[in-house]
Structure 1
Amino acid sequence: MTKQLKLSEIVPEHLFGKRLDQVLAEMFPDYSRSRIKEWILANSVQVNGQACAIPRQKMLGGEQIEILADIPEEERFDAEPIALDIIFEDEHILVINKPAGLVVHPGAGNQDGTLLNALLHHCPAIAEVPRAGIVHRLDKDTTGLMVIAKTIPAQTHLVEAMQAREITREYEAVCYGTMTGGGTVKQPIGRHQTKRTLMAVNENGKPAVTHYRVMEKYRAHTRLRLRLETGRTHQIRVHMTFISHPLVGDPVYGGRPRPPRQAGEELLQLLRNFKRQALHAAMLKLAHPITGQLLEWHAPLPDDLVALNDALRADTQQHGMDFV
């Protein structure tokens, strides 16, 4: 389903000499630069009554701009009173600490009970923002920080900042194997060649970069701090599996549990019952999309990851750092 959008404005004189795509981005801040460029290339933009398909064409000021374009009509979802752990909120953005088990956006098999449904209840006006202001996602069982836009201008700026890699996201994780030091995984990610619902390192995929450093070493596991340069689907999970250090508990990419030799029954039971990827979005830093103020938030580890680290640390101490 699409709806027709019609916009009409005069180019302000102070935009003299700027390119058409730059002028439109300033005149219509509710729409992203990429969408504006699509409209220009599709002959949906008229300058003084003539279609203009050249984004770089210079404007003099005073031109009559008209845009007539089809845009996707947002699917409507129900508001639901689902509790949110709100870390920060103003009239432009919302930062939450997402729990494990909460799906971000409705999809096949998850039409309700999602973060989007919760956002519609918490802030009804967010229904007018595409995707209810969601600009990035966390997997269902990944915990931690997410930023949501409450207005279209805030969303436009956040999406552009994300694409320009101006938003810093750091994660904590526990992986299998003892790592000797930090590093960077720079491998493209795309759809798995045979299992189309999964992602994989794929030479035809999109560029993906993950930086990691060692926080703590255990006998047969490592606690990591990771920083994303890009935000591909399942990026950390795929990259860590690629370098043979999959995340503990990952039901898709992790394989079977790999306990250290002679582990106690308590640790064995904890590893068997850890049914989600041991991954937590611990830090988020960005420039406020409207004020430009640099903001930073931290979310403490959830109880299950605290218990996992405590058990692995106790096992390591008990066996005198006898790595396997």
Structure 2
Amino acid sequence: MIRILARLWPLLLALAMLPACSDERDVARIDFTKSISETRTPTDVDSSPRLRCAVSAMVSPKETHTIYVRLMDYLARHLDMDLEFVQRKTYAEVNELLMSRDLDVAMLCSGPFALAEDQLGVELVVTPVLGGSPFYQAYLIVGADNPAESLADLRGSVFAFTDPDSNTGRLVPLHWLAEIGETPENFFAETIFTYSHDNSVLAVARGLVDAASVDGLVWDYMAAHDPELVGRTRIIKKSQEFGAPPVVASLDLPVEKRQKLREILLTMHEDSEGRDILDGLHIDRFTAPDPAWYEAIREISRPARVKE
């Protein structure tokens, strides 16, 4: 154990120093030990009703704020409310805020939504359509120079998971390992959690880990914005399709607000500001979701959850 920790410590230190976005010149750093404080706009005065929003940290905290705050501000303004944008480090922490009725609207990772839907006290509002599809996949990635061509070739490697509750960043690779009768402890030399998909991509690109399973939407987004960086990685396996990360609303949000929220999201691609925001997110539009889209996540998680 001491030998393993000694080998792992430099890797963890390096990951803690990863930039909080894909621009390697950015000096911002991520502290994986802390949650992110709340951000309110335009003021902290509680004279107006507030729309408390969060986005599960599918990308690192700074990127999450940069990418999604315009969307949440757009929703708040069209609902005649002030925005309170809340960030937390882990998916579980965002779920806890929903369960404690401390959030009104959230965009959740599909895994935590599917596995805790009955406990969250939320209504499924919309799902994003990206590249013409409301589905997404896990990508198993390695360094561009890594000779591995399949999961089997990664035996004895250093592997990065994202979040303990992530679908594409943990549940899917656990499922892949179970299919070949393996567990992370027996198959990999070492494993770590990066707590965001962009950090996992960065870790592979920089050779800090050998491989990772990441959200394909995040990898595609990063490839479009930083092709040189993402070009240092390559995809060796893709998963089946799952319902894309949904937008949910707390059942404590008045029914009329939930209905208006759905209408705003379903039609925002039709106005110039909404279209511009969606273009920045690489989202075609939002669509009414089918709850069955998320059943596959529950199915693949059952063997992994039993073993845990």
TM (normalized to structure 1)? 0.24
Judging by fraction of residues, say which structure has more helix.
2
Larger Cα-atom Rg: 1
Judging by fraction of residues, say which structure has more strand.
1
